Amino acid sequence: MKVSLTRRYKFAAAHRLHAPALSDQENRRIYGKCNNPYGHGHNYEVSVTVTGPVDRATGMIANLGELDPFVNREVVDAFDHKNLNEEIPVFQTVVPTTENLCREVFRRLQSFPAARLERVRIEETSKNSFEVTSDRDGPESR
Residues forming contacts to other proteins in the complex (CB under 8 A) are: 1-9, 49, 54, 57-61, 63-65, 136-137
Element (H, E) at 28: helix 24-31
Query: Nearer Cβ to other proteins, position 61 or 75?
Result: 61
Q: How far is the CB of 54 from other proteins (least distance, A)?
A: 5
Q: Which amino acid is present at 84?
A: L
CB of 72 to other proteins, least distance (A): 13
8 or 73: CB nearest other proteins: 8
At its nearest, how many Å lie between other proteins and the CB of residue 119?
Answer: 10
What letter would DSSP give residue 39? -
CB-CB contact of 105 with 97 (8 Å): no
Q: From the candidates 15, 18, 42, 124, which is the catalytic residue?
A: 124
H or E, element range at 105: helix 98-109
Strands 40-51 and 116-125: antiparallel
Asked if 81 is an active-site residue, the reply is yes
Q: Among all residues, which ones are annotated catalytic?
A: 34, 81, 124
